[in-house]
Amino acid sequence: RQYPQAHSGEHCYSAIMGRKEPCKNCPVAGLGNGKTINTTESYYEKQNRWISTTASVITSETKPLGEEGEPNADDSLKTPCLVCWSDVTEFVDRVRSKDVLTGQLTAERFEVEATRVLAEDRRANHSFLYFSFPQFGDVTEVWGYQASNEIMKVFAASVATNLKEKEPFARITGANFAVMIDFDDKERTEARVSMMLESAHSEVLRLYPDLRLDVWCGIFRMQGRELAVSEALERANLARKSIGTMQDMPTVALAFYTDDLRQVNSFKEFVENAMREALDNREFKVFFQPRRDTEGSLTGADALVRWITSEGQVLEPCSFEPIFEENGFITELDYYVHKETFRLMKEWMDNGVEPPSVGVGSSWQYLFSPDFLNRTKYLLQRYHVPAKYIEMKIPETVNGTDIDLVLELLTQLQDLGFVVEIDDYLAKCALGEQAKELPINQLRQNPNFIMFLKRIEQKRLQAPVEGSDFMNVLGKGK
């Protein structure tokens, strides 16, 4: 007998599990109301294993369990049950270690496997790769989820064929992947990674020849065991993110981690730690850059923001806005800039000065946040600045935003009386001008955006409106 201490009539949780109280996930409790079989799974931390437990009613001659599955008060009338245990630890481990979509390792299992390989050969040098497809959301918007999933599966399968036995590969999250490979030297490692990713890229294009798919890969060389696997991946990911600052990037772009990137990461930490207090202390200053016509006459202004720290250091938007866009704080900064613009224009009006038209930019995160329209209406009511003096500047990047939401937002802004400044090619399509008049030489750099424009044109054809009544538009550069 496996459990010689167990005797008939004893409680299983006491005789077998050594517990003083019933198990929280007891299968017997699920019996009753005609249910004669019930199975549950539980993790037992002390034993470090997963157990699948099945309880079955083995006779119906005596009084059944109560309606709620509780035993009856009279022990002699309890329904006898057969309880079976199965150790399913290995099965659960297999399920949890494999990514359902690609069949590669999960992030959790990757860390375990990479740590094991590093421990087995402490003298070997290894490289950690972190690669992804930037703007993959646009691909999903244009091609759909089924195609996006197939793209990731095909790409991952191709990469896996170029890996050795002790080179773990995982899908971390979304369209982000991690690999640990042997490190030879920088040139050979770079050549191998390029070949591996370009080969996978070609496999995807064979199925989707019209697809524009960029691949960004960061590489971190790890010598010995100076860092944990999670830290190595963070550094590889920092290298990947740095690719966004490069000029004339190839379709498959690589970047090695350097100590300079660590300093950039330190700046990011400074920004994120100081941003809330800086906003409360009004360290973000709004300036108006005048716009003039060819004769030098003032035609308007654009609201610009600078971060002037308490120590007097001036930070340009290009240094902190990408961080705000990543962590979501950009919506608070955008509202602050809008509020300051209204406040300053109110001061001019109170002093008898008619303000010029001022262009105010916004991120897509703020424009489509739940509070955007309510906050904008509040500013109109509080400062009593006519909406005609404000030019709402719609950003160029579409980022896969739903067309119906875009058109609805533009209409609502126009109804409030704002002048809407929008990029030429998006404006032309929304206003119903013919496709032949679009600046195709500019759009060819982003085939996915052409699909977006075609969808706008399709919406216009389904519900045609007069362009002059749709919205007030200032074309860029006009």
Phi and psi (nearest 5°) for 310?
-65, -20
> What angle, 0 to 180 degrees and rounded to 10, lies between the N-to-C axes of helices 107-120 and 229-242?
110
pLDDT of residue 464: 41
Q: Which residue would you say has higher pLDDT here, 141 or 302? A: 302
pLDDT tens per residue, range 209-243? 988 899 999 999 987 667 889 999 999 998 898 88
**pLDDT of 327 above 90:** no
- How many CB atoms within 10 Å of residue 144? 11
Name residue 361's amino acid.
G
How many Å apart are CA 188 and CA 62, to the nearest integer?
76
Phi and psi (nearest 5°) for 34?
85, -5
Q: What is the DSSP letter of 293?
A: -
pLDDT of residue 130: 97
pLDDT tens per residue, range 416-459? 988 887 654 444 444 444 333 333 323 333 444 444 445 545 55
Q: Tokens for 335, please give them.
A: 């509202």
pLDDT tens per residue, range 5-28? 777 777 777 777 677 777 777 888
Q: How confident is the model at residue 154 (pLDDT cuts 50, 70, 90)?
A: very high
pLDDT of residue 149: 94
Pairing of strands 252-256, 215-223: parallel
Q: Tokens for 345, please give them.
A: 């224009």
How many Å apart are CA 85 and CA 203, to the nearest integer?
46
Q: Is the pTM of this model over 0.85?
A: no
**pLDDT of 473 above 90:** no
Q: Is 68 left (phi over 0), alpha (psi -120 to 50) or beta?
A: alpha
Beta strands across the sheet bearing 49-57:
37-44, 49-57, 81-87
pLDDT tens per residue, range 164-192? 989 999 999 999 999 999 998 899 999 99
Q: How confident is the model at residue 469 (pLDDT cuts 50, 70, 90)?
A: very low
How many Å apart are CA 453 and CA 428, to the nearest integer?
10
Contacts of 95 (CB under 8 A, 6+ apart): none
